Structure 1
Amino acid sequence: MTHDRANALITHILGAIASGDHASIEAMLADQVELNTPRFLKPIRDRNHVVIVLQTIPKVIENFHYVRTWPAADEAIMEFKGNIGAIEVHGLDIFHLDASGKVDELTVFIRPTKAHAALGEAEDALILAQLEKAKGGAA
């Protein structure tokens, strides 16, 4: 079985992170996308909210980078590391791809617990500001 779609996604994400082109992350998402994150009990299914979260993470986690990747036919698993201040962050992103190669589901795992808490504190203010900005522009 070929891993072309998963490899294409991995290449796109690695390029976006390396170049700092976080806006290009939106292009990889399906219209109907679901984000499962340890920060929330329920998945985020609002595409604009998912875009804002994904574009904010590299701004919140310093030195955010992927250290290993595993392609599969309809999934790409990417291990990441970085830090929030003195707290080291380590996690996995599991991207599920639809038939067109777009991400229709992303599940995130992060450790340790103190990294999870620090991420929430740092991320909330940025995401809330971006959501308000998006709502204001849509009105």
Structure 2
Amino acid sequence: MKAFRAAVEAHDMDAVEALLAEDVVFTSPVVFKPYRGRALTAAILRAVERVFEDFRYERVIGEEGGRDHALMFSARVGDREIGGCDFLHLDESGRIDELTVMVRPLSGAQALQAAMAAQFERIAAEAREAGTGTAG
């Protein structure tokens, strides 16, 4: 998914949001229940962009024009190195309707969880401003 990768690498979160389907389902690496909706998912992704340091995509897996893609990345949260993968599914119109993130190792996932928990109030406020999204 070239457009998503380009938007993330350019730190253009408005462009990332524009690629999301209205009913996108985001599955976090550190929360059991998925999040639903463009506004909430975009707010979460903005927080991730604030939390991750030295973020870079390293490999993309998926056929050009296909509906399923995996984008492998590395980043840092504080002093913890993280390796991970964004799994994207596109709907019939080419928008992202499923985004699942996996990260490793456990110490990196724990650092990510703590950093994202510190962003919770801001995420909730941004999602309320932009529209309605719900967990579960």
Fold-level match, TM-score > 0.5? yes
Q: Given the alignment of the two structures, is residue 36 of structure 1 paired with residue 27 of structure 2, yes or no? A: yes
* Letter aligned with residue 119 of structure 2: L
Shift of 1:58: 2.0
Counterparts of 2:29 and 2:75, CA distance in 1: 17
1:43-54 paired onto structure 2 within 5 Å = 43-54=34-45
Structure number with higher helix proportion: 1
Give distance in 2, aligned partners of 1:137 and 1:100.
22
For residues 71-121 of structure 1, the C-alpha deviation after alignment (integer angstroms, 9 at most, x for no partner) is 232111100101112210100111000001100011111001111111111
| Matching residue's letter, 2:85 | L
- Summarize the Cα distance change of 1:136–1:103 in structure 2 as closer, same or farther, 3 Å threshold: closer
CA 1:37–1:101 in 2, change beyond 3 Å: closer, same or farther?
Answer: same
Larger-gyration structure (1/2): 1
**TM-score, length basis structure 2:** 0.85
- Please give the alpha-carbon distance, in whole angstroms, between the structure 2 residues aligned to 1:107 and 1:137: 22
Q: What count of residue pairs does the alignment treat as equivalent?
A: 129
Deviations 1:44-76 (A, max 9, x none): 113311111112212211011110001232111
**Cα distance, 1:136 vs structure 2:** 5.6
Identity rate, percent: 31
| Aligned with residue 79 of structure 2, among 73, 81, 86 | 86
- Residue identity opposite 2:74 in structure 1: K
Instruction: Show structure 1 runs of 5+ residues with no match.
Output: 1-9
Structure with the bigger RCO (C-alpha within 8 Å, sep 6+) is: 2
1:13 Cα deviation after fit: 2.1
Equivalent residue runs for 1:1-139 within 5 Å: 10-72=1-63, 73-135=66-128
TM-score (norm 1): 0.84
